[in-house]
Amino acid sequence: MKEQTTIPDSKGIQDFSGHYCIVGAGPAGISMARSLKMKGIPFHVIERYKDVGGIWDIENPGSPMYKSAHFISSKYLSDYADYPMPEEYPDYPSNRQILSYHRSFAREYDLYRHIKFNSSVRSIEQKGSKWLVKLENGESGLYEGVICASGITWSPNIPKLQGIETFRGEVIHSVKYKDISFFRGKRVLVVGAGNSGCDIACDAGVAADQAFISVRRGYYFIPKHIFGMPADVFGDGAHWIPNWFSQWVFGIILKFLVGDLTKIGLPAPDHKIFETHPIINDQLLHNLRHGDVIAKGDISRLNGEFVEFKDGSKEKIDLVVLATGYHWSIPYMEEKYFEWKNGRPELYLTLFNRNYENLYALGYMETDGGAYKMFDEMANLISSYIDAKRKGDPSAKKFESLIRTDRPLLNGGIHYLNTGRHSVYVNQVAYKKYRSKIQSKMGWPELKPGQFDILKKGEHAASAPNDLARAAR
């Protein structure tokens, strides 16, 4: 396996032909880096912030993280291949523990010296058969290919609220929320019942004078533990069951465990379970049942000191927190390079650009379970294709044809809601089965336990930041 080199500094255009540029050293980026390194494919990672971690570093400007945030999937099914989370971690680790896990992963596999930190990408454009990557500091590099792994939760979606111009309270997006002390002495309304919105409403329920949550539609709330097991571990044992039957069984279980949510002010779901991204939260239900948080319907308008709701009620509110999600974007590339559908890039298997050679993306999808093992499998598919092309293997041509023409349904028979969020939503079991079938046809091996151990550097890995510092000099 060819040893990689650190990234040199230069103000001219450097020729990195044969190298691949990974944009972002968050969870997807470091998974991709390990996969390329395993196959001996030269690469550089460009990271705009000072360290590994992406959104999990609360100090990164624009990170949606807040101090009370925890993983919504359990540590047992959310780790990277060959790198389990520490045994002492709880079932649902904190954001600080997840950040530490990512940095430990990057040290263990000696990835730090391949990452150029504090370097924002200004633009990426095609130049002949190569890709020109320009950085904000004036450096430029010509690369064989580009893998966008810069994440989907950096550009806040801020809806227009009628009456906001004359509202006497404060309105912020949830990306600005960091600490529970922000709510003290206030009447707080959280808008949106996604996983972050529910978490933030719980914080407000503890610290605010009164907390409210505005919910437009009904959702299914899945407890973090079912019969003493983390919810995803419990569900993982039922993957052999057809999805329609699983929906029926889980619907009955939730009625038994959670009860009728309309009795605590939440609207009844207008869809079957699993047809939207799951809300993994039972703490909000506790707060609603104790009156620490009060459920409200959709907002009609803001009016002076008050927020008025479509049911005719109104509440005096000091602070509105918009937990209304994020626009997906790849801001360093012109829109022409990706086909956008409902605000999401349309890619083969959510990874491969259909129109531009050697342009990939990792992490531009949502799914119904832990992502990191899935990232590893997706990264393995990308790197297997790149490796086949580099070696002139006939499988590369076969796969190119699939990229252009193959449009599989990856919903596992579940009819996801027709929303922008669910336009590239994939069922994990269906995706894994289809991806595995394609890899088998191409003759590309699946991940095997222990295969990444060869990359572990022991004491040398711990010195990786020093290697990087030397490269910066």
CA 362 vs CA 261, 377, 381, 446: distances in Å? 37, 11, 11, 18
Residue type, 122: R
Rounded CA-CA distance 198/284 in Å is: 6
CB 353 within 8 A of CB 347: yes
Multiple choice CATH, 158-324, 3.30.70.260, 3.40.980.10, 3.50.50.60, 3.40.50.150: 3.50.50.60
CB 407 within 8 A of CB 350: no
Q: DSSP letter string over 257-292?
A: HT--GGGGTPPPBSS-TTSS--EE-SHHHHHHHTTS
pTM for the complete prediction? 0.90
Token pair listed for 90: 């709880």
User: Which residues, in sequence order, are CB contacts of 220 under 8 Å at separation 6+?
Assistant: 254, 269, 273, 274, 276, 278, 279
| Rounded to 5°, angle at Cα 110 from 108 and 114 | 145
Task: Answer whether 14-154+327-455 and 158-324 agree in fold.
Answer: yes
* Crossing angle (nearest 10°) for helices 428-442 and 372-391: 20
Given its phi and psi angles, is residue 41 left (phi above 0), alpha (psi -120 to 50 degrees) or beta? beta
Full pLDDT tens readout for the chain, 473 residues: 444 555 555 567 999 999 999 999 999 999 999 999 999 999 999 999 999 999 999 999 999 999 999 999 999 989 999 999 999 999 999 999 999 999 999 999 999 999 999 999 999 999 999 999 999 999 999 999 999 999 999 999 999 999 999 999 999 999 999 999 999 999 999 999 999 999 999 999 999 999 999 999 888 888 899 889 988 887 776 665 666 566 667 777 777 788 888 999 999 887 777 777 778 888 999 999 999 999 999 999 999 999 999 999 999 999 999 999 999 999 999 999 999 988 889 999 999 999 999 999 999 988 877 789 999 999 999 999 999 999 999 999 999 999 999 999 877 666 766 665 656 778 888 899 999 999 999 999 999 999 999 998 643 333 333 333 333 32
Give the CATH superfamily of 14-154+327-455: FAD/NAD(P)-binding domain (3.50.50.60)
Rounded CA-CA distance 313/302 in Å is: 12
CB 21 within 8 A of CB 144: no
Instruction: For the chain, give every domain's residue range.
Output: 14-154+327-455, 158-324
